[in-house]
Structure 1
């Protein structure tokens, strides 16, 4: 693992804390914020390793916080989406180590910017009931591929749930189940790919306390904050971070 200066450690922990606050507040975006932020000053593969334990632990917390019965019902209702996401995550994760660094920045940056802008401008997709089975397989595949390559499959999942008019309370449960199941597969896949190994696991573990503290703060703030404004600010931050990743892909530094 590369040497990190005290400043780099501090910055990484602040990013993890902020990502946890956002996830606690709106239910997603922790991996997107962490991978965007960490990749801005770390090797993208180390950044990917760094998010893995936090992604797993925070998603498990989100699932258990809602209760097991709603989680089970959500898994039954969206089993196709769950299945294809997990398979695609595992498959895509195996090719991460073969992707050149600059290409990796594009893979990270372009979806971050595109998906964040889609939500910022208020675009809402609508999927007719008779097309939902096909949409589950198709959007689930895209989500899983992004998850395996970049560690984040939240934005596409949120867009899908909005497109099928999922009620807010159920959406939080479904998100937790999909993210929780996917994060287990993601960790296992990157143990196999070598991204998470005997060296990088310590960096990943070091990010966890900050992410959990942030998530606890986010949970407390959830009912007292202007969610629309907070989400908008978060998306703007994501666009800036994503543009920076694309810049690194173009310039190499």
Structure 2
């Protein structure tokens, strides 16, 4: 698996941005949106930790920054993993519902950035509109469930089981990859479940696992996945802000600040992805990452459910 243009040309980027090229405009808008949110919704120095509902030390804040950068770098490299890494760690320190809501902002920015960076546009929408529609529907139902029901650790635990099962499947089969296989019904069902799980628990491994198995074109793999996830997170944020009490101005600010920090990791990961990457190493990296994520989810949920 190879990608091109690992060298970043700022002058060319600015030239294309001034010409309102889709790719550069999308990337710029995604970045500027979270920068603006971190400024507009700033609660003041005294209110910076007021909405966390827990005692957060300087060390914990430093951990949050490090996790955000690492998760952003992994997202930039392989197209998914940010929420899967960040959510269990954040939820172990702050209120889990708060973590799910706040961590909707950075993935939105990351996915919209990668939609532009991979130049994924209307062609993908025309080809996969059923997938997008069902993913959005799943997200709407998921937000309603999150607002009305206290799901506790059960949903994350089930997601951990799915991730762990997928790891065992891939290892047992020697990394199954089906070149550009297209199964509209299966992919659309995976998209609907992805939207629901992301809304309820901010953890959604199903669609990345599907794309990893059935789509090996790197730019389409990452760009298409980002298009679907970007649509899901857009609907989630709008629904939480307009129709529930989940997305407050403070949470918008905190999510935007985390997203700004995440940009550092995203830029690093995007650069690494544009270098030549061996296909088998890529597969091992994805599977190892999912294995660690599943163990972390089990570490957080098993004591609460069974002990």
Q: Specify if TM > 0.5.
A: yes
Report if aligned partners of 1:59, 1:179 keep a CA contact under 8 Å in 2. Answer: yes
Q: What's the CA shift for 1:116?
A: 4.5
Q: Does 1:83 align with 2:133?
A: yes
Name the residue aligned to 2:233.
Answer: 183
Greater RCO, CA 8 A, separation 6+: 1
What are the equivalent positions in structure 2 for 1:6-25 lying under 5 Å apart? 6-25=58-77
Cα pair distance change 1:139/1:214, threshold 3 Å: same
The count of residues paired between Structure 1 and Structure 2 equals 249
Cα pair distance change 1:201/1:213, threshold 3 Å: same
In 2, distance between residues paired with 1:7 and 1:135?
44
Name the residue aligned to 2:115.
Answer: 63
Report which of the two has the higher share of helix: 1
Q: Which has the larger radius of gyration?
A: 2
Name the residue aligned to 2:153.
Answer: 102
Cα RMSD after superposing both structures? 2.9
> For structure 1, which runs of at least 5 residues remain unmatched after alignment?
none
CA deviation profile, 1:201-251 (whole Å, cap 9, x unmatched): 332122112211100011111133646436634543443343233233232
Cα pair distance change 1:107/1:49, threshold 3 Å: farther
Report if aligned partners of 1:40, 1:244 keep a CA contact under 8 Å in 2. Answer: no
Cα pair distance change 1:99/1:214, threshold 3 Å: same
In 2, distance between residues paired with 1:75 and 1:221?
27
Q: What's the CA shift for 1:54?
A: 0.5
TM-score (norm 2): 0.70
Report if aligned partners of 1:32, 1:112 keep a CA contact under 8 Å in 2. Answer: no
> For structure 2, which runs of at least 5 residues remain unmatched after alignment?
1-51
Report if aligned partners of 1:84, 1:141 keep a CA contact under 8 Å in 2. Answer: yes
Q: What's the CA shift for 1:23?
A: 1.0
